[in-house]
Every structure is written in C-alpha cells, then in structure tokens.
Amino acid sequence: MTASKNIPKKVQEPTSDVEDVFVFASESVTEGHPDKVCDQISDAILDANLSQDDGASVALDAAIKNKTIMLLGEITSNAEVDYEKIARDVVKNIGYTNMDIGFDANTCQVIMEISEQSPEIAAGVHKDKVTEDVGAGDQGQVFGYATDETPECMPLTALLSHRLVQRLDELRHNGTLPWLRPDGKSQVTIEYHRVEGALIPQYVRSVTLSAQHSPDIHLDQLRQQLLDLVIKHAIPTNLLTEKTIYNINSCGKFVRGGPHADSGLTGRKIVVDTYGGWGSHGGGAFSGKDPTKTDRSAAYMARWIAKSLVASKLCRRCKVQITYAIGVAQPQSVMVDTYGTGLRSNQEILDIVHSNFSMKPGSIIKQLNLRRPIYKQTSTYGHFGRNVFPWEVPKILKY
C-alpha cells in the first residue's frame, strides 16, 4: 500500500484573512512499541471472546516487561478462550521471538489475574434486557473530533505520524529493511495558518523518526534509508521543503528496545489512538473494553458525529463531547463546538445532532454493529481515519 494515499497533494493557499500562524505536532508508535503490544493483546482477547459470545463482558489490561506478560482484568463470557496462547501469538506475530530483539514470545511467562465482572456493575449496566436501554458501563466524558484538512477528516499531523510507523512495520515485515526491529516512534510537526477558525496546513516543520535496529547497520546508512524509503514515501513531497528538519534516530543507536528496554501497559497511548492531541480527550482508554464501556463505544459515536458534520459541510472542523452516568442509558450532556467554522450556530448544529443520532449505549452498539470481533485492527495506527471501521463512514444527515 502507498502510505501517502488520499493525502492532498496540494495544500490550500492561505488568503489575506490569515488570523495567525502556529505549529502543532503529533506522534505515533509502531506495533512493536511495548504499550502497543499490550493494546494488541487486550483487543485480541476481546475479539476472541466476542467471536464466540457477542454478549461477553470484557475489561482486560495487559502489561509486559523483560520476560513476563501479565493479564489483569474482568471477563464474564461463555467463550472458551486460551488467553495465554493468544498473548503469545500476538507478540510472536509482531516479531518478538528472541531476547536479543527485546522479548521472546516462546519462552516468556504469562501471569493471569482475571475475575468476573462486579455483580453490582453488571446489575446496573444490564438491568434492562432491552438492548436500547443498556446502561452506561461507567461514568465519564468522551470526545470526537474532525477537520476538513484531509479527506479522512483527520488532523494532518496525526495522519502523517501514523503513516510513518505503518511504513516502518511494512518494510520490516516484507524484508525490504531486514535490519529493522519492532520498536519505533514518529513525530510530525506542521506549520498551520488559521483562517476564520479553519486550519490550513503549510508545510512540515520537522519529522522525528526513531527505529529500533540490529547492531550491524551503520547509522549513516540507516538514516539515509529511512529518509528515502520511509519519510519521503509517507509524506507528500510538496509538504517537505528546504526548511524541513529531519531527526532520524537523533539519539544514536537504538539496538536495545521493546519490553526489554521499556515496560508496556494497555491504554497508555490514548492520544496516539485518537487525534494526536487535537480536540480534547476524556481520559479513558479503548483497548480491551467491550462496547458496553462508553469510554470506547461512545468515543466512536462522538467521532462518527463529528465526521458526519464535517463531511456534510455544516462546518470545517468540530469537537463533540458526550457525558454519561454509570448504569444510566441517556447521556447526561452533549456539546458541539465548530470553532467558528459552522454554517449554522452551535445550538442549531446540536439540534441536528440530536435529530440524527441516538447516543444511548445500546443504540450506539446497534447503529455501529459493535458486538463483533473488529477490535484487534483498531489497536495500531489509531482508531480513527480508516474507512474500514463503521464510525468512519459519514452518516447522511437530515435537517
């Protein structure tokens, strides 16, 4: 796949009405980053349960360090799942099969502390057996964000940072760069012009890329290959100028990586998972949680609403907030902010949202068909911006 696909090749020219110039950066991580390893384990176990029992209740965290994987959480399910095998297979498929690389899926120990969901929470969440009236699995706030600066309605900084690490993983798996190892990170900084609340990307100020590697590659060779085969492949040439700064393995050697160099934990890359720091974040992680947990499902709904508003051209960018109380189906509040880019007032757009979307947890599950094993693929390269997910297909709004 071409990593720069769908990124606009020509950046919109600013007008004389530019309000201000500012820079913004977003980061991403490879599938072999220890935190992302844990996200993938948690979501693989969730999928395994949902594939056998679509009513499974799952809230599972994973932790990884040195020679140990820990599985911690609550699962109530009729499925028969070999959790240890799933964890080992995830890590093995990423490429951690030798301690010289950073972890060995074949020889590690797997420790499990898993119990059933609290009966008090289960009673509150499932007190009504009618699907539409399932109560929220927890209190909390979620946010959705969308912008017209890319066809995917994603911030360009976030989109490009994902494309960089996706390209790293691609070149490692297909053998093009055999010296690459699983761990790695990216960061993209872009200069924007803000015009009447809308954001106009100008150029990439800097690219930071750190890739774990074998000891037999020289740093100069590594840097040149990553520039040519990763950065220039993932980022359109019109966004790279003579002023662009490249920080490629700027700390030097990166041989020791993965869980041997750093611990990992599910849910520790929540900004990477969402919008790269744009908009807001409610604080709840996604991975390892079944769709009755509004941290996850309602965040997908908020994104669906925001993207639908931008795709319908009711605004150029917007933020949506939804709040919940545990055991209560009806949202406690809904907010829409178009940053001054709306064709109608925020209140009028909010009225359109209420007339087009039901935000009860049970209704979200039904509308987006969330009781399916679709979550493992969300656990790398962000949960938003790829049309393979139902919340990424804009709804045609009636108003």
* pLDDT at res. 130: 45
* pLDDT at res. 4: 44
| Within a domain: 261 | no
* pLDDT at res. 16: 54
Contact 7, 346 (CB under 8 A): no
Of the candidates 200, 221, 256, which is a domain's last residue?
256
| Within a domain: 39 | yes
* pLDDT at res. 136: 84
Q: List the CATH number of the domain containing 79.
A: 3.30.300.10
| Within a domain: 10 | no
| Within a domain: 12 | no
**Residues 78, 107 within the same domain:** yes
**Residues 279, 241 within the same domain:** no
**Residues 123, 168 within the same domain:** no
pLDDT digits (tens, 9 = 90+) for 390-399: 999 999 999 9
| Within a domain: 379 | yes
**Residues 38, 181 within the same domain:** no
**Residues 24, 171 within the same domain:** yes
Structural domains in the chain (count): 3
* pLDDT at res. 220: 97
The residue range of the domain holding 97 is 34-128
**Residues 180, 220 within the same domain:** yes
Q: Write the Ramachandran bin of 247: left for phi over 0, alpha for psi from -120 to 50, otherwise beta.
A: beta
| Within a domain: 110 | yes
**Residues 103, 198 within the same domain:** no
* pLDDT at res. 116: 84
Of the candidates 207, 226, 256, which is a domain's last residue?
256
| Within a domain: 397 | no
**Residues 325, 379 within the same domain:** yes
**Residues 166, 24 within the same domain:** yes
Strands 180-195 and 20-29: antiparallel
Q: Which residues of the chain have pLDDT under 70?
A: 1-18, 117-131
| Within a domain: 175 | yes
pLDDT digits (tens, 9 = 90+) for 131-186: 677 888 778 999 999 999 999 999 999 999 999 999 999 999 999 999 999 999 99
**Residues 285, 319 within the same domain:** yes
**Residues 24, 168 within the same domain:** yes
**Residues 247, 283 within the same domain:** no
What is the rounded radius of gyration, in angstroms, for the C-alpha atoms of the chain? Answer: 22
pLDDT digits (tens, 9 = 90+) for 103-118: 999 999 999 999 986 5
